Structure 1
Amino acid sequence: MRTTFRLRPWLFAAASLLLTSPSWSQPQPSGKLQIKSASVLIMDEGDATVLYSKDAQKVMPIASITKLMTALVVLEDDQPLDELVTILQVDRDKTKASASRLAVGTKLTRSELLHLALMSSENRAAQAVCRAHTGGLPACLKAMNAKARQLGMKNAQFVDPTGLSSGNVATASDLVKLVMAASREHLIQEYSTSEKLTVPVGRQLLEFHNTNSLTSKEDWDISVQKTGFTQDAGQCLVMRATIQERPTVIVLLNSFGKLTRVADARRVRRWIEGGVGTQMARAGK
């Protein structure tokens, strides 16, 4: 005699739930990138694929991301990097909205000032090297805006070399172009990613550190970076980092909270390492 077993409806439902529940399947990374920054652009530089975009065409204040452009035009001015530049009262006056450890009268080389501007976001250092540009501050600012047009940064505008002014604006799309241009300069790579620098200020030796904590992490491979912050711009971060053996440009603008931009950068990295970014790019999403 043939025996037939019937599965009760509630047992069938339970079995179906066990088979389909995510907790019983292979873990899969989520396709949605949870990110806190207001404007974002992530690009695989290898093939110029946009992996993620969020309000990337919105014109926004960029704070000290400005200093990447300042460094570009100062280097292109081709003045001696070992030449001493003095911090003047006018540099203090122009940056009075921010604190600085560089007292008026401090003499540092152009190289040291560029290093401090990129690594520690030192405003007086950026102001001084731009003022010492051939033709002075007006010529430096003119060169910064001309360079922006040359790079195709259609919405970028620079009115000071530090980023303290909210008149310094760009889109995330503009800043991808700036980061890639900066990454072609060896000194910008070196200075922006170094962990610390000690320089003589008066009779003291002062040690400065990088404003981006990720540069000291051994599991990050960052070739160019710059942080920024003002009340209007919020917390900002741009980076060119190698992720999954691919050069990736990350632009994060207007993050709220001191550590949010770093947390967002980590989220981006995990998202790409999970394969989601690449999969979505291939799918045209």
Structure 2
Amino acid sequence: MKIRNTVLALLSVFVLGTMASGDVSAASQRQSSKKAHSAKAANKSEKVAKSAPSKASRVASVRKPGRHATSSHVQRASFASVAPDMDNEGNPLLHSAAFMIADQATGNVLLEKNSDAVLPIASITKLMTAMVVLDARLSLTDILTIASDDVDTLRGSSSHVPVGTELPREDMLRLALMSSENRAASALARHYPGGLPAFVTAMNRKAVSLGLRETRFMDSTGLNSANVSSARDLVKMVSAASRYPLIREFSTTANYTVSLNGRPRQFNNTNALVSSPDWQIGVSKTGFINESGKCLVMQAWLLNKPMIIVLLDSFGRFTRVADAQRVKRWLESAAVQQKLAANMRGPAT
């Protein structure tokens, strides 16, 4: 009995040991399986991570093209807004048949087209009329009278200055330059020593002295289409006119009131740009007859420099002013580009 109990005890110990060993083996297998699964998952995650960018990377890769697209869009929009007024070389598309834009201080020509073409200049003539009057040093307080000889019989143009009007020479000069009054310009020549023939001779002599090779005058008003010049010559003529303080003042006066037969009458400048706060104009003169088309010459301060703008034979009522505005925008945009380029290069070392 004792031996039997001993055997049974030994068998119990064997069985319990085997079960414990099996539990340990199973647990080990489960742990190994879990580790293998974790390793497999980790390996899969690593492969996914390598094949796909992180969230930050995805955000960066999305935003970067977006910024470039926005920049390109802005550039395209900016180009589209400028393109209609620009040619392939970035110069303004002007609609005047002949023109020249020059830096008065240096003489450098910035832009030109048909600048040597000899064309009728209409009332641009009056700048020369004013120079001849002032060169003669005639009294500006002398009273001049508008006569029937001053009436336009060539083209039948109207005037706000009736026959019989009496005004000082200074007011006649002002009206001729500011409002392009033909009767005032005619009276100035008629009251010159020697009359109109002597006055026209003095005009042509002055043209020669200024080196105007393509310029000829037949009257003091510009109604005669034989009054001709070129854009190149007119740059010189405007430059010369800018040396006369009264021409600068009278040609850029926005409006002026005179007494005509006891009644006040306001006269306005034929160039609306002289009233614009965006322009600083030193000399201005417009002109028009059928043969010349719309004309405009100016000395204006642009980029803090005196620039001379000559626009001849502009088709349409507003073309000459629109062309002047295109020139201004072009010069200012060029200056902006230069400043941007200088800033990009950084300070000099």
Q: 1:110 maps to what in 2?
A: 169
Partner-residue secondary structure (3-state), 1:66: helix
Indicate yes or no: 2:116 matched with 1:57: yes
Conserved 8 A contact 1:95-1:124: no
Q: How many residues align?
A: 272
Partner-residue secondary structure (3-state), 2:174: helix
Q: Which has the larger radius of gyration?
A: 2
| Alpha-carbon distance in structure 1 between the residues aligned to 2:220 and 2:247 | 16
Question: How far apart are 1:189 and its partner, in Å?
Answer: 0.3
Conserved 8 A contact 2:303-2:335: no
Question: How far apart are 1:23 and its partner, in Å?
Answer: 3.6
Amino acid at match of 1:245: N
Q: 1:72 maps to what in 2?
A: 131
Q: 2:323 maps to what in 1?
A: 264
Q: 2:297 maps to what in 1?
A: 238
Partner-residue secondary structure (3-state), 1:155: coil
- 1:29-48 alignment to 2 at 5 Å? 31-48=90-107
Amino acid at match of 1:255: S
Q: 1:136 aligns with which of 172, 187, 195?
A: 195
- 1:157-176 alignment to 2 at 5 Å? 157-176=216-235
Conserved 8 A contact 1:271-1:277: no
Please report the TM-score for the alignment, with normalisation by the length of structure 1: 0.88
Conserved 8 A contact 2:126-2:221: yes
Q: 1:98 maps to what in 2?
A: 157
- 1:135-284 alignment to 2 at 5 Å? 135-275=194-334
Q: 1:278 to 1:176 in 2, by over 3 A?
A: farther
Structure 2 unmatched runs, 5+? 1-46, 53-64, 339-349
Amino acid at match of 2:110: L
Amino acid at match of 1:112: D
Conserved 8 A contact 2:155-2:223: no
Please report the TM-score for the alignment, with normalisation by the length of structure 2: 0.73
More helix by share: 2
Q: 1:12 maps to what in 2?
A: none
| Alpha-carbon distance in structure 1 between the residues aligned to 2:158 and 2:336 | 39
| Alpha-carbon distance in structure 2 between the residues aligned to 1:224 and 1:146 | 22
Structure 1 unmatched runs, 5+? 6-14, 280-285
Higher relative contact order, chain-length normalized (CA < 8 Å, sep 6+): 1
Q: 1:21 to 1:192 in 2, by over 3 A?
A: same
Partner-residue secondary structure (3-state), 1:100: coil
Q: How much identity, in percent, do the aligned residues show?
A: 47
Conserved 8 A contact 1:81-1:110: yes
Deviations 1:76-134 (A, max 9, x none): 11110000001111111556621111111111010000000000000000000011111
Conserved 8 A contact 1:41-1:54: yes
Q: 1:44 to 1:252 in 2, by over 3 A?
A: same
Q: 1:124 maps to what in 2?
A: 183
Question: How far apart are 1:259 and its partner, in Å?
Answer: 0.9
Conserved 8 A contact 1:272-1:278: no
Give runs of ≥4 in structure 1 deviating > 2 Å.
1-5, 17-30, 93-97, 276-279
